[in-house]
Amino acid sequence: MIKEKVQQLAKSIFDDVVTNRRHIHANPELSFNEYNTSAFVAAQLDALGIPYQKMADTGLVALLKGAKPSDKVIALRGDMDALPILEANDVPYKSKNEGVMHACGHDVHTSSLLGTAKILSELKADFGGTVKFIFQPAEERLPGGASVMIKEGVLENPKPAAVLGQHVMPLIDAGKVGFRPGKYMASTDEIYVTVKGKGGHGAQPQQNIDPVIITAHMLVALQQVVSRFADPKLPTVLSFGKVIANGATNVIPNEVYLEGTFRTLDEKWRAEAHQKMKKMAEGIVESMGATVDFNIVNGYPFLINEEELTKRSIAHAQDYLGKENVLDLDLWMAAEDFAYYSQVSDACFYRLGTRNEERGITSSVHTPTFDIDEKALEVSTGLMAYLALKELGN
């Protein structure tokens, strides 16, 4: 049976996948600068005899056609970029690029997709249809490598019926995976605000236009966008993580600078909320004698897993791993640029468990101590290959 063949191949290539993952982990590159990683992936594809082309400067898209007749196409995506984080792990494959680290598991995604390509190339005689492998740059940086690759035609010639992607999840034990049909991850927008007043001595506030107290009023009022304008049934988050008022104990500054994020799961409400926030901020600040530059940079859209595709994928995952190893996921208010694929194609984005409490592998993504239980790499390669084959009708 095809399942047993996939499982056996996933076991047989495990050591190679671990080696590839450790190489990529030790040599991380930031978004839109994945030149060496891209060259490494290209060399691996050359060794497999899988043709590819470059896209988005450092991205690659490869095609593998099965020997049996079929016009169906399925796309599989893995991202390649790392984060500007100084790694704190003491491991043989620790980052050699100081201040840059694969702290979000993209080394796992890339090495796993190469492993999946290896499995499917070995099974080429057993299936019909075409698998498109998308090795994508810059998931971590706006405008997102997915949007660039889509603009350059990654979902055309041939057009896939669906796109599948996976992402590490340190909350889930290695050996397990998680799915959620429908809306899954939030849109994300970046907010940059400057409130401009008139600074001066803290003992003479009547002579100043205090941007600090005005900013405080604005921040509290803006939370009404969530508590009073948003539908209570629609998750919405507005958070400000940076506030700089560069005065002193007795110095009121001329301006206050802020940075924040807005996240939700509905594109219509997202646009409405932008207008409400901007209008509210301008009204409050100007009514108190100051001015405000309120700038919202649109980030990734919300991510939606097509219902029927995801339900099929859940059933296939249960068949491959056992029902006890396939979990239901909650909504996740983080963002992912895989969302761009989900907005223009049927898509399924699922979670790969990487946790091992006994070995102390519990750190969250985007932290200096993030790592994985590498036994997850046998699941990551085999399951994605099996899902692709089942979607192709094999």
* Collapsed DSSP state (helix, strand, coil) of residue 130: strand
* Exposure string over 123-137, b if 16+ CB within 10 A, otherwise e: beeebbbbbbbbbbb
- In the chain, which ranges are continuous DSSP H helix? 2-12, 14-26, 35-48, 106-122, 145-151, 211-222, 224, 267-287, 307-321, 339-344, 376-391
Q: How far is CA 69 from CA 120, 121, 322, 330, 391, in A?
A: 16, 16, 31, 39, 15
The catalytic residue among 34, 139, 337, 378 is 139
Q: How far is CA 102 from CA 24, 202, 270, 315, in A?
A: 8, 46, 31, 31
Assess whether 46 carries a catalytic annotation.
Answer: no
Collect all residues with Cβ–Cβ distance below 8 Å to 288 and sequence separation of at least 6: 209, 214, 217
Assess whether 81 carries a catalytic annotation.
Answer: yes
> In whole angstroms, what is the distance from residue 61 CA to residue 378 CA?
23
Closest by CA to 160, choosing from 72, 266, 238, is 72
* Exposure string over 283-307, b if 16+ CB within 10 A, otherwise e: ebbeebebebebebeebbbbbbbbe
* Collapsed DSSP state (helix, strand, coil) of residue 341: helix
Q: Which residues are catalytic?
A: 81, 139
